[in-house]
Amino acid sequence: MENTKLRRRVLTTATATVAVGALALAGLTGVASAGPPAATAPAVSADSLSPGLLAAMERDLGLDAEAARTRIAGEYRAAAIAAGLEKSLGTSFAGARVSGEKADLTVATTDASEAALITRAGAKAEVVGHSLDRLEAAKDALDKAALAKAPKNVPVWYVDVAANQVVVNGASTSAAEAFVKAAGVSDKLVTVARTTEQPRALADIRGGDAYYMGGGGRCSVGFSVTRGSTQNGFVTAGHCGRAGTTTNGVNQQAQGTFQGSTFPGRDYAWVATNANWVPRPLVNGYGRGDVTVTGSTPSVVGASVCRSGSTTGWHCGTIQQLNTSVTYPEGTISGVTRTSVCAEPGDSGGAYISGSQAQGVTSGGSGNCRSGGTTYFQPLLPALQAYGLTLVTSGGGNPTTPPTTPPPTDQPGGTWAAGTSYAVGATVTYGGATYRCLQAHTAQAGWTPAAVPALWQRI
């Protein structure tokens, strides 16, 4: 590591701790395939979004109903375009983000010659010095160093695509610099940020409903899932319970048992419920109407996101960074998403959702819903993959036009392609085999059918 001083900036985040909530990623449906020419934004009608979600977005983001619909439509379109460009740009891709009332998309690249391709796809091009692969490799090195020895007084680090840097938050700049140096990461890739944030996992213990652990405490349901053809359940935060922990539902009646739980490292778990509990593709709107879940595609940086939890109900904010690492007293959690949504104890495990698209399960954070705060959610897909679960949705979404020039079926990828939106029941070929889509989603790089059984079934 070079000896030049790391760049420094001072943050003034609050020290109060915030509640954890579980959430699940929802698939993006009804979006045209990404890549040149520009994808067409899907229509977001007046009755397609929950009144509760719209009310919370107006309260927390200052958006009236029409502005909220416009923004969500733009975010859906941006997610599809960003996925297609990530595939097209390959190793020069440097991240994507949205901004403004219409969710204008910016896509960064390290290759200036690709700016025209980005513009044709419907995004603003930005040429930067570091690819996303390079920044994520640096963050991975920090993650490995934290697993070997949890850093002291360094609560959070993440890839900031807007700054084209890895940001390391420390109680002091010297603590952050020492952590970066110990990990062997080049200071050219890192910005040190001083923060008073003290995140911790909290278990004061439809999506958003309360449940109670047998050993005491309350958390919130994330999203309904199934395993196989007969077992129902839900996903939640791993820190809420361990395998074997029993649960009672919001009505205090026997509900189920934790079947699997991962924490720290990641923060996800799933609870198998008894026959009295019927899974629904809904998130509790807390008096403003339930929100229907239609899929599991993640939104991009800058997108709006709302949370439902059993302590504070509905609150909204924006996605600030993806692939963040955060250190709690129990250890380091990696791969979480950083948001500006507030939460409080008991919201743990509650649902985060963008429009009708589920986003993940809250892991922890700081602040509260009186003064504001920062929260981190665990994306859903890793939990579905880890436990072989299927997200319960309203039945899919609309098929979209396939790419006009699909790759030949004898190529390793077959007809499957990242950036394409797939509806439930759609079939593709990959690696010489045929697969059926189990959940509506927009394919991301690395989500090949053979690698993601939660999304695809071989037939």
Show the beta-strand stretches assigned E in 11-103.
93-99
pLDDT of residue 213: 94
pLDDT of residue 270: 97
Q: Do 324 and 422 touch, CB atoms closer than 8 A? A: no
Letter for the amino acid at 33? Answer: S
User: Distance between CA 226 and CA 391 in Å, rounded?
Assistant: 7
Distances (CA, A) of 39 to 140, 184, 193, 374, 442: 32, 41, 37, 32, 13
Q: Is 239 a catalytic residue?
A: yes
Distant-in-sequence, close-in-space partners of 250: CB < 8 Å, separation ≥ 6 = 209, 210, 211, 310
User: Distance between CA 436 and CA 425 in Å, rounded?
Assistant: 6
The label of the residue with tokens 């002091």 reads 172
CA 78 to chain centre: 15
Cis peptide before 37 (omega within 30 of 0): yes
pLDDT of residue 12: 34
pLDDT of residue 188: 95
Rg (CA), the chain: 21
DSSP state of 85: H
User: Distance between CA 275 and CA 253 in Å, rounded?
Assistant: 12
Letter for the amino acid at 188? Answer: K
DSSP state of 238: G
Retrieve residue 238's tokens.
Answer: 């791993």
Tell me the average confidence (pLDDT) per consecutive run of 10 residues in the chain, 459 residues long: 38 32 26 38 59 86 90 91 94 96 94 96 96 96 90 93 96 94 95 87 68 92 93 96 94 92 96 91 84 91 94 93 93 94 93 94 91 94 92 60 33 68 82 79 69 74
Distances (CA, A) of 329 to 9, 67, 80, 317, 360: 25, 40, 37, 26, 22
Retrieve residue 239's tokens.
Answer: 């820190």
CA 305 to chain centre: 10
pLDDT of residue 166: 97
Q: Is 315 a catalytic residue?
A: no
Among candidate residues 348, 354, 356, 421, the one labeled active-site is: 348
Distant-in-sequence, close-in-space partners of 443: CB < 8 Å, separation ≥ 6 = 83, 416, 417, 418, 419, 420, 421, 422
Q: Do 32 and 362 touch, CB atoms closer than 8 A? A: no
Measured torsion, CA atoms of residues 49, 52, 54, 58, in degrees rounded to the nearest 10: -170
pLDDT of residue 395: 65
Q: Is 407 helix (H, G, I), strand (E, B) or coil?
A: coil
DSSP state of 91: G
| Neighbouring C-beta atoms of residue 65, cutoff 10 Å | 14
Among candidate residues 60, 143, 160, 267, the one labeled active-site is: 267
Q: Is 348 a catalytic residue?
A: yes
Q: Quick one: angle between helices 132-148 and 173-183, nearest 10? A: 100
Retrieve residue 102's tokens.
Answer: 């219409």
Q: Is 305 helix (H, G, I), strand (E, B) or coil?
A: strand
CA 191 to chain centre: 23
Retrieve residue 294's tokens.
Answer: 């239609």
